[in-house]
């Protein structure tokens, strides 16, 4: 019988077994290729874990979520080391972007995953943490020159605060010049809320986040009348 690597990895994550999770990943990569770990094994398994967390399932606590994020960082670090050992060109530095959970939202796993993938792709990520007010987002954007804000919300009740962030962007006259990327379980379940709450785009998974930020950055530069660096 074929091994169910995804279930084995999920079990290791729920036990907060970082070494065991990496052993499962190594075993999977031995029969496939390590660069395929993220899209084919890690990302789908973490999405399953995220759904369990959202429903309060046993074995999906905040502490376990922290370990899950560390496992993802282990994989990304290895991918970067392999790329460097292969003599590939270094990733060009990309512009500053912000990540944060919107006000009253305290579910960091998805945000941490996206931030890790963005950093791996060369973005200068300023991770503001959880429970970030619209003013905090915009103050930091103005301080750093960020053109894209990534706002995460797990539930409908907190996702409504994305609309308050949109209002703050518009109030400060930054419409178009700062783009708003949104993510979290509620936007996967109800994609129509992206536009309804004022988001400029979303990504289906953390793997696709960098491409989304690239598009939004270009759009923001166009709105500001500036060339893309």
- Quick one: 124 and 177 in the same domain? yes
Last residue of a domain, one of 85, 117, 133: 85
**Angstrom distance (rounded) from CA 169 to CA 178:** 7
- Quick one: 123 and 217 in the same domain? yes
- Quick one: 109 and 203 in the same domain? yes
pLDDT tens digits for range 194-228: 999 999 999 988 778 999 999 999 999 999 888 66
- Quick one: 137 and 192 in the same domain? yes
CATH number (domain holding residue 74): 1.10.1240.10
Full strand arrangement of the beta sheet holding 148-152: 124-127, 96-101, 148-152, 179-183
Q: Which residues form the domain of 65? A: 5-85
- Quick one: 144 and 205 in the same domain? yes
- Quick one: 30 and 130 in the same domain? no
- In the DSSP assignment, the letter for residue 38 is I
**Angstrom distance (rounded) from CA 48 to CA 165:** 28
Dihedral sign for Cα atoms in the order 208, 63, 53, 1: positive
User: Which residue reads 């560390």 in tokens?
Assistant: 70
- Quick one: 75 and 170 in the same domain? no
Within-domain flag for 90: no
- Quick one: 81 and 104 in the same domain? no
- Quick one: 78 and 156 in the same domain? no
pLDDT tens digits for range 54-105: 676 666 676 787 788 788 878 877 877 776 666 554 555 789 999 999 999 9
CATH number (domain holding residue 109): 3.40.50.280
Strand extents, DSSP E, 30-171: 96-101, 124-127, 148-152
Helical packing angle, 156-171 and 134-144, nearest 10°: 50
- pTM for this entry: 0.75
- Quick one: 22 and 117 in the same domain? no
- Beta-carbon count within 10 A of 171 CB: 12
């Amino acid at each position: 019988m074929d091994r169910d690597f995804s279930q084995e990895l999920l079990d290791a994550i729920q036990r907060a077994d970082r070494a065991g999770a990496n052993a499962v990943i190594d075993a999977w990569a031995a029969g496939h290729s390590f660069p395929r770990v993220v899209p084919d094994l890690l990302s789908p398994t973490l999405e399953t874990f995220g759904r369990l967390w959202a429903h309060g399932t046993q074995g999906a606590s905040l502490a376990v979520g922290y370990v899950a994020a560390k496992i993802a960082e282990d994989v990304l670090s290895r991918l970067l080391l392999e790329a460097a050992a292969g003599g590939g060109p270094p990733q060009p530095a990309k512009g500053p972007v912000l990540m944060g959970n919107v006000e009253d939202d305290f579910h960091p796993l998805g945000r941490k995953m996206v931030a890790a993938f963005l950093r791996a792709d060369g973005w200068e990520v300023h991770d503001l943490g959880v429970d970030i007010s619209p003013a905090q987002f915009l103050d930091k954007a103005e301080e750093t020159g960020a053109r894209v804000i990534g706002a995460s919300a797990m539930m409908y009740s907190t996702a409504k605060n994305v609309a308050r962030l949109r209002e703050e962007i518009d109030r400060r006259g930054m419409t178009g010049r700062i783009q708003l990327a949104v993510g979290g379980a509620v936007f996967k379940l109800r994609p129509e809320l992206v536009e309804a709450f004022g988001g400029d785009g979303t990504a289906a998974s953390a793997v696709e986040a960098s491409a989304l930020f690239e598009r939004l950055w270009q759009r923001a530069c166009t709105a500001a009348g500036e060339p893309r660096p």
